[in-house]
Amino acid sequence: MKVKYIAFVIFLCSLKIYSQNNSVAVEKNLFKVNILLPGFIYEHGFDQKNTLYSELSLGFGYHSSYYGGSSWSFFPNINEQFRHYYNLEKRDSKGKRTDHNSGNFVALNAIYNFKSISSNNDFSADTSSFTIAPVWGLQRTYSRNFNLGLNAGVGYNFDKYESEFVPVINFTLGWIIGK
């Protein structure tokens, strides 16, 4: 009888360990509001570690020249990223949060900036642009669904007049909607 009892306890323990190893995964559907650059974000999980991040927001820019003065521009943009979260198991094993895709990631980032909705056309060209970049980033969700995201990399920007290497930095502050 003791042997059966010990075997049963070992079996239950192995089930618990097995389920913990497979429970760390990205969220299937995640909706967020960005308050820093006003916008909406949707992140769709494809499998345990990969997501498609889609953001529609309002960006801004500042231009300055000794001869032409300075101007601010505001433009809508679409930001798409294919993310691979690589440290979810490590965070989970250390007892850190992994819910709501709290983890580090690498991603291929594509950004389309529409024409400016307010700019000084005498100083700067009012044109749309497209940027593609590999980025490294992190995302954390804290109490009350407060969400922080940061990613950065070096990308290549294309517009009507020129193409060039540019720094790519995206910082988001907001809240997760739902759940």
Place of tokens 């990205």: 26
Query: In the chain, how many domains are there?
Result: 1
Domain that holds residue 110: 2-177
Q: What's the average pLDDT block by block, 10 residues per block, for the chain (179 residues)?
A: 56 47 82 95 96 94 73 88 96 94 97 82 70 97 95 95 94 90
Q: Please provide residue 90's backbone torsions phi and psi, each rounded to the nearest 5 degrees.
A: -65, -45
pLDDT of residue 61: 77
Q: Which of 31, 138, 28, 20 is nearest to 89 (CA)?
A: 20
Structure confidence at residue 40 (pLDDT) = 97
In the prediction, which pLDDT does 59 show?
84
Q: How far apart are the first and last CA of the chain?
A: 46
d(CA 98, CA 25): 8
Cα→Cα distances 37→59, 79, 104, 141, Å = 6, 12, 22, 18
Q: What is the pLDDT of residue 70?
A: 76
Exposure of 43 in the CB half-sphere (CA atoms within 13 A): 26
| Res 53: pLDDT | 97
Please give the model's pTM, rounded to 2 decimal places.
0.80
